[in-house]
């Protein structure tokens, strides 16, 4: 197979414009969050979903559970028959949403062109990016590393010239994989791919295609566009183009920022309150500089604390007036630290955010930071 994990820099040409698209897909997201938050569940088959004794369905399954043929949308009663010793967990959607928001903040450090598809996957256009890195492959490495370091979870990534190929690539080396499909490799990859593995080809369409003798991408490629449209309606146009690696869809962001913040993850967990207060002052200074640079102020100040076991808490206060000076931000955030268990418990991350801004924030470009240089 020509699709592989690569380390080199890669450019992609679509028409006359170079495009670099990432598809980031979290690995067994809901189940992985449960295994992270409850260490006793690690390496065990975990199923997130409804009660197996009722009419519930599976929302997510860990990779240990998938070995028994358990998958999402399967009735929970079927899942428990396939793996009687599986651990069933009720979904904690508020937790999943919170973790998803953290992951998206990582994406926005690199580009504003982020198109979330769900809580656990998104497209990123990194053709032009905030860190001015010419290599989409390197950016994918960095993003996956940041996700693992800051959330304790793994993600798989696909790198390609367009959204369809990037989506196909991200599923090739799961879990915790990185796959690049170059323009030179794309046609061969698609030709040998079973038709049921094409993104957007569901069970009914697969069966219809197979009844017409279409079992692989190579078979599909033999069909004229008009014939595909006759059999599959408007979708026929899409099938004709994607089997040739063509997809001109843009990454469409749907986000308006309403806050500015900075956070740092420590290379070693900290419990020294004096040092934590110093770090808060540093973060407050960076936030103040960002607010001042853009001429905005905020009323709500939030302190984020992540403990050693990845438990995350936030403490917020809303002031009567808008502020943006470092002294006030540092003082308020330091007081909020006293409302946490920092000092009694080791801390791996601190963050300071200002929201309730006095002007529209959609034009601002400040992102959260990660600093791996901090040592205890």
As a whole number of angstroms, the distance between CA 116 and CA 148 comes to 19
In 3D space, the residue among 263, 268, 310, 304 whose CA is nearest the CA of residue 282 turns out to be 263
Residue 171 in tokens = 């599923």
Question: How many secondary structure helices (H) and strands (E) does the chain include?
Answer: 13, 14
Alpha-carbon distance of 104 to 12, in angstroms, equals 24
**Interior CA angle at 361 toward 352 and 139, to 5°?**
70
Strand spans (E) along 170-310: 178-180, 259-270, 298-307
Question: Using CA atoms, how far apart are residues 61 and 26, in angstroms rounded to an integer?
Answer: 13
The catalytic position among 64, 102, 105, 121 is 121
**CA distances, 48 to each of 28, 29, 96, 146, 337 (Å):** 10, 10, 12, 25, 34
The span from the CA of 221 to the CA of 240, in Å, is: 7
Please give the helix or strand (H or E) that residue 218 lies within, else none. Answer: helix 217-221
3-state helix, strand, coil in the chain (%, to 5): 35, 25, 40
Q: Is 121 among the residues known to form the active site?
A: yes
- Tell me if 91 sits within 8 A of 227, measured CB to CB: no
Just list the catalytic residues: 121
């Amino acid at each position: 197979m020509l699709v592989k994990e690569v380390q080199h820099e890669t450019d992609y040409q679509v028409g006359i414009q170079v495009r670099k698209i990432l598809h980031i897909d979290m690995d067994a997201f809901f189940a992985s969050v449960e295994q992270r938050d409850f260490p006793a569940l690690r390496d065990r088959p975990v199923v997130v979903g409804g009660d197996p004794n009722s009419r519930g369905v599976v929302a997510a399954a860990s990779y240990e559970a998938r070995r028994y043929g358990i998958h999402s949308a399967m009735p929970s009663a079927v899942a428990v028959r396939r793996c009687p010793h599986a651990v069933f967990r009720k979904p904690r959607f508020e937790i999943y949403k919170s973790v998803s928001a953290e992951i998206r903040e990582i994406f926005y450090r690199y580009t504003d062109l982020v198109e979330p598809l769900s809580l656990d996957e998104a497209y990123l256009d990194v053709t032009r990016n905030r860190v001015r890195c010419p290599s989409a492959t390197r950016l994918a490495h960095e993003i996956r590393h940041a996700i693992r370091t800051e959330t304790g979870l793994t993600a798989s990534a696909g790198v390609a010239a367009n959204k369809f190929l990037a989506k196909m690539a991200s599923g090739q080396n799961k879990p915790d994989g990185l796959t690049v499909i170059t323009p030179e490799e794309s046609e061969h990859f698609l030709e040998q791919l079973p038709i049921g593995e094409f993104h957007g080809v569901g069970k009914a369409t697969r069966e219809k295609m197979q009844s017409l003798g279409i079992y692989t991408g190579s078979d599909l490629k033999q069909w004229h566009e008009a014939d595909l449209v006759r059999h599959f309606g408007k979708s026929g146009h899409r099938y004709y183009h994607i089997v040739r690696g063509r997809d001109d869809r843009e990454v469409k962001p749907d986000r308006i920022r309403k806050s500015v913040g900075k956070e740092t993850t420590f290379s070693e967990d900290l419990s020294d309150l004096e040092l934590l207060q110093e770090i808060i002052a540093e973060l407050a200074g960076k936030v103040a500089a960002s607010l001042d640079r853009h001429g905005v102020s905020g009323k709500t100040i939030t302190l984020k604390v992540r403990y050693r076991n990845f438990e995350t808490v936030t403490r917020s206060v809303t002031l009567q007036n808008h502020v943006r000076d470092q002294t006030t931000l540092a003082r308020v955030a330091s007081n909020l630290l006293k409302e946490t268990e920092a000092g009694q418990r080791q801390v791996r991350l601190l963050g300071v955010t200002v929201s309730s801004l006095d002007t529209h924030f959609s034009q601002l470009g400040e992102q959260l930071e990660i600093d791996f240089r901090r040592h205890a």
